Structure formats: C-alpha cells, structure tokens
Homo-oligomer: A and B are copies of this chain.
Amino acid sequence: MKNKPLILVTNDDGIQATGLRKLIAIMRGLGEVVVIASEFPMSGMGHAVTIQTPLRPRLLHSEKEYQEFITNGTPVDNVKLGKHRLLDRTPDLVVSGINHGSNASINIIYSGTMGAVLEASIDNIPAIGFSLQDFSADADFSHTDNFILKITNKVLDEGLPKGVSLNVNFPKISGEPLKGIKVCRQAEARWVEEFDERTDPYGRKYYWLGGRFENGDGRSNTDEKALAENYVSVVPVQYDFTAHQYIEKLSF
C-alpha cells in the first residue's frame, strides 16, 4: 500500500482562522497533515521573510498523522521552517488558506497566503492557495469543499509542471450553486489607494492603508470575470518575473 501523502497546511490569517480549520479538516481526509501557521495574522505580508528577529516555532498539538505548530514568522518562513526543520521528509503538497478575502488578480502580490504557495513552488513542491471572496471572520466556506477536494486530488495524483503553482479563488457564497472551475489568467486590476488620515491624541497625523479595488480588465479569460460569473477561478502562477517578450526589445 502506498504511503499517505504528507501535506503541509499554512495560511496568512493566523492559527485561529475559520478558513484554516476548514482546510485542515479537508486535508486530514487525504493524508498525513502538518500545520505550520503564524500565531498572529500575516495578511499583506506578500513574500516577506523574517531576518531581523529569530524564528520560534512551537508544537501545539500532536497525534497520529497530525501535528500543529505555531510560529512568530510569516507564511513564507513557515514553509521554509517546515521543509528544513520541522518535517521529517519533503512534503508531497503545500496548501495555503482558505484565505478570508480574495487573492485574485493583483491581490496575489500582497498575499501571504500566496507567498507560502510560491515559496513551496521555488522548492519544487506542488502547491495550491485557496481564497474566498469574503473578508469576514465568520465567512461561510461550505460551498468550497468539493472543489477543494477535486483540485487537490488531481494535484496529488498528477503533480504540477515545474515552477508552476495554483491560485484558486472562490466567489462568496450566494443562493446559486457554483457553476464549475475556470482555468484563467490574472486580471489586470489594481487598488486605487485612499489612505484614511487620522490625528492621534497628541496632534500627530497617521494613516491607515485602505483603498478601492478597480478592475479595468474587460478580457473574457480573467479570474475576476470567472468569479463574477460564479465560477471557481484557477490561475496557474509562476515565480519567474522576467518579462521575456521585452528582452530582445530593450537595449542600453
């Protein structure tokens, strides 16, 4: 009998998040699971690593085929700690999420959830990020189960191309069932920043990063379009940032 796959689960909303608990429950049905999650929320940490302070992972819970660690690191740190310190072998799969909030379109670049996924991919480990278009702490994830199972089983069976990982996003739950899965491209959208300016009790100004999401991408094959039409979006993503088509065109 084949050994059960080893699945590393992480996220960026921290160890308490409902979306993480949901993902853990699904993955425990598929293999041996090790959770390495940040003690505190790490939303917006992108691909940050911790180099100014040391990392302190702590084993919270251990039973047969299941372990749970918390750390003071970022999601990328958690993948590194897993691969190089906390796991006894290279995981067969890294999954991250389920994120409370969309990581479609440009959100991928700010996302700690997707940072963890890209980091696993750099290390040649198949990896999938799951995110829901609902920021609320008590978001309803019940429509995501079957799709997560389907996508994860396929990746466990077949792997992913070298250097490629998956950015999977779900629409917020509605009265209608999801229409299916669309493999698509990252929409060319962005945040139009509007800082929230306030004054502290000592008369000094401070700013909260806010903003409004603006999608000006009218193409038919984007993740934003798929989500708007109540599909699950799956974007194959890579960590090679080279704009290859411009290598020949630029000269200095």
Decide if A21 is an interface residue (CB 8 Å cutoff): no
* Interchain CB contact under 8 A, A164 and B50: no
Which chain B residues lie closer than 8 Å to A50 at the CB level?
Answer: 44, 209
User: Considering residues A118, A161, A184, A246, which has the most beta carbons from chain B within 10 angstroms of its beta carbon?
Assistant: A246
Decide if A151 is an interface residue (CB 8 Å cutoff): yes
Q: Given contacts A44-B51, A46-B48, A243-B163, are A122 and B190 in contact (CB under 8 A)?
A: yes
Decide if A64 is an interface residue (CB 8 Å cutoff): no
Residues from 223 to 252 in A contacting B, C-beta threshold 8 Å: 234-244, 246-247, 249-252
* Interchain CB contact under 8 A, B164 and A243: yes
Which chain B residues lie closer than 8 Å to A48 at the CB level?
Answer: 44-48, 110
* Interchain CB contact under 8 A, A80 and B234: no
Which chain B residues lie closer than 8 Å to A185 at the CB level?
Answer: 240, 242, 244, 247
Q: Given contacts A46-B46, A183-B250, A195-B81, are A239 and B209 in contact (CB under 8 A)?
A: no
Which chain B residues lie closer than 8 Å to A108 at the CB level?
Answer: 241
A135 to chain B, nearest CB (A): 12
A186 to B40, CA, bound (A): 33
Decide if A52 is an interface residue (CB 8 Å cutoff): yes
A57 to chain B, nearest CB (A): 7
Which chain B residues lie closer than 8 Å to A206 at the CB level?
Answer: 54-56
* Interchain CB contact under 8 A, B236 and A110: no
Per-residue 0/1 for A30-56: is the Cβ within 8 Å of any B Cβ (1 yes, 0 no)? 000000000011011111111110111
* Interchain CB contact under 8 A, B247 and A242: no
Q: Given contacts A55-B207, A209-B77, are A109 and B47 in contact (CB under 8 A)?
A: yes
Which chain B residues lie closer than 8 Å to A249 at the CB level?
Answer: 161
A80 to B207, CA, bound (A): 11
Decide if A106 is an interface residue (CB 8 Å cutoff): yes
Per-residue 0/1 for A201-222: is the Cβ within 8 Å of any B Cβ (1 yes, 0 no)? 0001111110000000000010
Which chain B residues lie closer than 8 Å to A80 at the CB level?
Answer: 193, 195, 209
User: Considering residues A41, A167, A235, A243, which has the most beta carbons from chain B within 10 angstroms of its beta carbon?
Assistant: A243
A47 to B241, CA, bound (A): 13
Closest to A189 in B: B122
- Can you list 13 residue pairs at the A/B interface with Cβ under 8 Å? A45-B48, A46-B76, A47-B47, A48-B48, A49-B110, A54-B206, A55-B195, A76-B110, A84-B195, A151-B252, A163-B188, A185-B242, A186-B242
